[in-house]
Every structure is written in C-alpha cells, then in structure tokens.
Amino acid sequence: MAYDPLKIAIAQFAVAKEPGANLETIEGYARRAAEDGARVLLLPEGLIARDDGDPSYTARMAQPLDGPFVTGLRRIGERHGITLMGTVHVPADAPDTVGATARRVSNVFVVIRDGEIIASYRKLHLYDAFAERESDTVEPGDALPPIVDVDGWRIGVMTCYDLRFPETARSLAVRGADAIAVSAAWVRGPRKERHWEIMTAARALENTCYVLACSTTGARTIGLSRVIDPLGEVVAAAGPQPALITAELRRDALAVARRSLPVLANRRFADPALA
C-alpha cells in the first residue's frame, strides 16, 4: 500500500550506558509514534550504549546484528508495526590495528520492518575532524548507502559525518530517493549547530528531497533534529532536549519542487560512481 502523505517520526534522546535502558526508551518512543499514526521512526546514531566521558565505550559495547540489542529492536518494530531506522555498532571483520585495549567495530545503519532487518549500511565517512578520531575504533564502509521502499516512498540513508559530503546525498537522489534519513550524534562546538542547520537544508534543496535528520541529545551532542522539505524549508524541528517530532511527507510537495527546480534533470556532468 502506498501512503500519501507518509507520516514519519523522529526520536531524539541521550543514549545511556546501559543497552537495556536504551531499548526501554526506544520502546516508549515507538509506542507513541505508532499511536500517532507514524509509519517510520528515525532514531539517533550509536543506539546500543554511550558514555560521554569515555570515547571508546561505544566500541567496547558493540554487539553483532543477531545479538540481544538488535533482536530487541526487531521485537519493538514488529510489536508496534513501525519501521525503525538508526545505527548500532557491531564487531567488524577487520583485525584490531589500534592496540590491545581497543577493538574494531563497524557503525551500521539498520532499517527494521516487520521484525526483520531489510537493509544495512556501514558508515562511509568517519569523523576524523575537530580533534575527534572515530577511525581509532571504527572501520569505514566501502559501499554507497542503500535506498529502501517504505509504503511506496523511497528513502535513502546516511550517518552523521556523511552529511558533510554532498556526493553521498547526490548518489541517493540520482538513484531515485524521495527522502534521505540521517542518523547522527552531532558533536557540540563553535558554529557546529549552524553547520547542522545549513547542511541538512542544503542536502534537501540541492537534491529536491526531503531530509529527515536525527541527532542524540546530551552533554556533548546537540539534538536539534529536524525535517526539511524538498525546497529547503523546515517543516518540523526539535530543540536540544529529548523529544519526539512528527511530519508528513507529501507527494505534491515533492512534485512541485522537482518541477519548479529541476536540478536533477538539469545536471550536465554525471559521475557514474554515484549511480
């Protein structure tokens, strides 16, 4: 069944140190979103566990995709009849090259529907910027992110730092994405909130796609989740505190944007690597 409009929800919260506590939080947001008629719930990056005082904690708490945390996510999605999107850290195949106390993980965006993982994506661009070094513990992916069909809408996915690489979003748009979902833990810092605002809007406008952007809240991350329409306008937004926001994706708005601003059709130089 095709949904027009498609109601989506974004849940932003501070990821706790205990995986079980995070599943309880997600359960509550999934229940509320489903009761409000949402068909998709976008969640933040690094859902299993986080400790703002220990950058290596998330890697140490990694679990395989068939482990208890993702199994819990699958049950939540099935119980509430909602598609879940967000990232988890899983042990990587590559050997540890960092040191005896560290282990390699992959930062994996998962899409869960009807209790099953229907798509996964290993984060391409690692956050080695602003004095951070995600690559100390995380292995990068080597494939472009996928697009999934959700109730007749084609939704592409990206993870946090991917937002700073416009070719990633463009690859989704030229492959037919109607919307792009971004799962993030956007770190605070001078002008960083402004960067988030500018780039989420830019990725929507330059590709005439909806952008759904979710970031964790907390001492080190900004929250400020938002939904941007295909002409770059904010249609729903949260502040810095935990929140659930909803929005409707509309076919008529998508069609008007692409008819009045046909940037995808007007491209003169196409990179085959993005197709």
Q: Give me the active site residues, please.
A: 45, 123, 160
Tell me the two tokens of residue 228: 């941007």
With 0-12 CB in 10 A as exposed, 13-18 as middle and 19+ as buried, what is 67?
Answer: middle
User: Measured between alpha carbons, how far is 72 from 80 in angstroms, rounded to an integer?
Assistant: 12
- Eight-class DSSP state of 96: P
**SS3 labels along 110-139:** EEEECCEEEEEEECCCCCCCCCCCHHHCEE
Residue 198: how many CB atoms within 10 A of its CB? Answer: 11
With residue 151 as reference, give the H or E element that holds it. none
* Sign of the alpha-carbon torsion through 137, 142, 144, 148: negative
How far apart CA 180 and CA 158 sit, in angstroms, is: 7
